[in-house]
Amino acid sequence: MRASPSRRGRARRYAGVVVLEALVAILVLSFATLGILGLASRALLDAGDARWRSEAASLAASALARMWTEDPATLVDRYDSASGGAGFRDVVAAASKLPGVTSTTNAPVVTVASGASGASARVTVTLFWQPPGDALPHRYAIEQVIASR
């Protein structure tokens, strides 16, 4: 038995609809794949930023720990950015592990101010880093009052 002419016409029409549905399905799948790739790319960028932020926090805490072992009266001369003392140079050397940091570019800032008492100092350590491709540097700052024991 042969298919009637009306059946053949319907089959051709449905074949066109099936091709159109397949093209739409491929388009939707392509957008979904692009979305997943975009999310994965963003996750990698965020993981890298978290790594550098963690490294900066560790370096700043280490600098403050070293300051706790010293006399608060000598902190300005040794650590303040304006004085450029040996302690500050050590902070710069440690911060150079961060991307985009040199002694002149994205250099750390250490501010030592008088504390509530004459035997204390308020210290702020600010670290910067700038991964390749980032237009602006990132920053991490921590402030602590250091008192003599």
Give the mean model confidence (pLDDT) for residues 123-127: 96
Residue 62 reports pLDDT greater than 90: yes
**What Cα–Cα distance (Å) separates residue 34 from each residue in 28, 38, 52?**
10, 6, 27
pLDDT at 9: 62
Residues 6+ apart with CB under 8 A from 133: none
Give the mean model confidence (pLDDT) for residues 47-53: 89
pLDDT tens digits, 128-147:
999 988 899 999 999 999 98
Radius of gyration (C-alpha) of the chain in whole angstroms: 31
Q: Identify whether the C-beta of residue 109 lies closer than 8 Å to the C-beta of residue 80.
A: no
Residue ranges covered by each domain of the chain: 5-147
Q: Give the pLDDT band of residue 5 (cuts 50, 70, 90).
A: low
